[in-house]
Amino acid sequence: MLTMLLDHIDRHNPRINAVVTLDRDNALAQARRLDALGPQTEQPLWGLPVTMKEAWSMKGIRTTGGYPPMADYVPDRDATVVTRMRDAGAILFGKTNVPLLSADSQTYNDIFGRTDNPWNTDRTPGGSSGGSAAAVASGMSPLDIGSDIAGSVRIPAHYCGIYSLKPTERRVPTAGHVPPLPGSPRGVRRFSVAGPLARSVDDLELALRVIAGPDARDVDIPPVPLPGRVESPALNRMRVAYSDQFGHVPVTADTTRVIHDAVDRLAHGGAHVVKAAPDGWTFMEVWELFGFLYWAVVGSALSPEIDAAEAEYAGFTPTSPDAFSRGAARGINVSLRDYGQGMLQRDRLVNALDSFLEDYDVWICPVTATPAIPHIPHMSDVQVGSQTINYFEMGTYYCMPFNLSGHPVVVIPAGFSDDGLPIGLQLVGRRWDEIRLLANARSIDKALDAYRAPPDCL
């Protein structure tokens, strides 16, 4: 299998640029050793060739985060998720591209260049796990471990027509991720998670069981065990809520059509389907609060000079017409009292979503406002119908509520735009209940039957 994947990479990667580092010789040597030993039943990923997002530190393998000052950095220790994948028997044969410090909803950097979408190379695969999604979608890798702080495993899965899981916040350790930079203080204590990208829901669950759990290097990971496998329910036993938009940021007509077609199919299959959203969730409030708390957390690890430079670069001002930018401007120079008030506001929103999900098995939402966008300059506006939306709204508006709340989300393929681009759905579940969410996702995925491989990569 490894040699087949390497041949496939040799054929298709020059066009897509998803896999940016190959550990070919070591991977082939490991495959030969495993073949000689024979299958090891205690290793659930025995012999499976797997790629990892470039942001994960791998001992002895260049790890840059797409950041030019780290172009030659070689870690002396694996990230925790890397260790767990190795211990499960996986053959880690390559690393996949990222934007600069994993901070964009497109994937390009000055070290490795631009990654293209396997469905249409004039389009982005998304970000920041764009190389991960492009590799999995194009058949270069069966599984990749990405990371997500505002949609970074979900946007690429949606743009590339595959599956991904954003676990509950703090379900999976993030020790060894870049950023933060090696030797720097731990920057992001909330919102950031590690999660898999794959070509099936079953493979998401397989990966989650390998990477989840407490870690001595990450003291915030609680010892909450994963339950055994949960059987997927029949549609007529499922209660499904859906939202086709959150207000303020519109979605394309294709996105609306795909969502409506999906929920109609579920309803015809017997599911109880209701258009609904949590009480008290004003999405502009959620958007501004995320900007505030995100930059309060990130800014705590940055110098005042970098804070100011970031704010100027991104256009964050207290009077910005964009709620996220207003929140970020406040968060960069936050007082302890204001941060505490922001966390209380977050608690209220989390409790409202928890209460909402007591009545529904899953909440279906858009992933982004559009299918995969063309490659555009960073911070460019995007047109959706008659409305112009800004860069942050385009990429993360529909994803960031669930980084703010910490709830798990599965993305599955649901259909295609009129010009042949994949469109996915977010399936939001209860906190700490990923296995049941995955079971529900299997039922919905079977009913929709929307996964297709990009034709140029077969």
User: Which residues are part of the catalytic machinery?
Assistant: 53, 128, 152
Cis peptide upstream of residue 303 (ω within 30 degrees of 0): no
Give the span between the Cα atoms of 389 and 149, in whole angstroms. 21
d(CA 288, CA 323): 5
Interatomic CA distance for residues 431 and 355, integer angstroms: 11
DSSP state string for 122-166: TB---SSSHHHHHHHHTTS-SEEEEEESSSTTHHHHHHHT-EEEE
Q: Are 31 and 2 in contact (CB under 8 A)?
A: yes
Cα three-residue angle 230-233-236, rounded to 5 degrees: 165
Is residue 196 within 8 A of residue 142, CB to CB? The reply is no
Q: What tokens does 369 get?
A: 């406002």
CA distance 316 to 31: 50
Would you call 218 exposed, middle or buried from its count of C-beta atoms within 10 A (0-12, 13-18, 19+)? Answer: middle
Tokens 């940055």 belong to 302
Terminal Cα-to-Cα distance of the chain (whole angstroms): 15
Q: How far apart are CA 426 and CA 232, in angstroms?
A: 18
Distance CA 43, CA 113 (A): 36
Burial class (CB in 10 A: 0-12, 13-18, 19+), 397: buried
Q: Cα dihedral angle (284, 362, 258, 448), rounded to 10 degrees? A: 160
> Any bridge partners for residue 49, and if so which?
91
Contacts (Cβ under 8 Å, ≥6 apart) of 51: 19, 92, 93, 94, 95, 96, 132, 135, 140, 141, 143, 144
Structure tokens of 260? Answer: 């409506």
Of 165, 192, 142, 104, the closest CA to residue 373 belongs to: 104
Q: How far is CA 243 from CA 260, 308, 319, 418, in A?
A: 10, 37, 30, 21
